[in-house]
Amino acid sequence: MNSTPATPNTYPYSNERIWSRSEKAIARKVFEAALKRELEDVMERAKQMANEIKDPENLWELERFLTQRRKKIDRNYEFRTSRLTQVLGILLCDGRVSEQELRGLREDRMKPIRSCANALSNDAA
């Protein structure tokens, strides 16, 4: 059986060009910065919500908030090279990263990231 991909230097099951070491480094930096900001945001919001707890319902609201954010973070922040376009697209769509931060990436890399962000944005609309 021939296991050579139809288009060399692309991922199996996609036509995406393989991420170079320097592109991955940019993506990693942007990814880590976005994750740090997101976690800081959850920490700040949790402190604020806890501070405003007046009755048990506020407690369980805080629990639900933490569970939802943890699940969303687990889902969105998965640094796998084969999923980097989607991951960055999701973060761009959610406003968690800016185009400015991704400026080190070439246009042929940015285009599918932007398409993914737009598609998600349209889905949410």
Residues at the interface with a copy of itself (CB under 8 A): 39, 42-43, 46-47, 49-51, 53, 56, 58-60, 62-63, 66-67, 70
83, 25 contact by CB (below 8 A): no
Q: Residue 78 or 99: which CB sits closer to a copy of itself?
A: 78
Looking up tokens 């968690």 gives 96
3-state secondary structure of 101: helix
83, 11 contact by CB (below 8 A): no
Q: Residue 62 or 110: which CB sits closer to a copy of itself?
A: 62
Q: Residue 9 or 51: which CB sits closer to a copy of itself?
A: 51
- Written as one letter, the residue type at 115 is S
Q: How far is the CB of 47 from a copy of itself (least distance, A)?
A: 5
